[in-house]
Amino acid sequence: MTDEERILWRHLWRIPVEGTHFRKQASVGIYFPDFISHRLRLIIEVDGAHHSFDDQQRHDELRTKWFESQGYHVIRFWNHEIKNELDSVLDTIYAAVEERKSRPGLPDAEGALD
């Protein structure tokens, strides 16, 4: 894990939503996203400077499309956002969690489908 991924990992507990459980670098198909909630079908990626290069952007785009085809929603943050705007990052993740929880067909906190 990068320094920024470690920072975010240490602060994900601050998202006060019952039943929220993120794993770090758990597999989905052939991919290993930075953080994932299988229950919410939510992926969080933390991107460093190399993600700004054209080849890497194309790879990230294909990967995101594949995740979406599997029913996942992907949110991305740059390293500098984790370092300088952590509260805003956590607010964005919280909003995504709330939005995902309200989607029909996703399990509730007890694991039952809506």
**Residue 26 forms part of a structural domain:** yes
Looking up residue 22, the CATH number of its domain turns out to be: 3.40.960.10
- Position 91 in a domain: yes
| Residue 56, pLDDT score | 67
How much is the pLDDT for 37?
93
- E strand or H helix at 80: helix 79-84
Intra-chain end-to-end CA distance of the chain, in Å: 34
Domain that holds residue 71: 3-101
Tally the domains of the chain: 1
pLDDT recorded at residue 112: 45
Residue 81 lies in a domain: yes
- Alpha-carbon Rg for the chain in angstroms: 14
Assess if residue 107 is contained within a domain: no
Question: Could you tell me the pTM of the whole model?
Answer: 0.83
Rounded to 10 deg, the angle between the 86-101 and 3-11 helix axes is 60
With respect to residue 109, please indicate whether it lies within any of the assigned structural domains: no
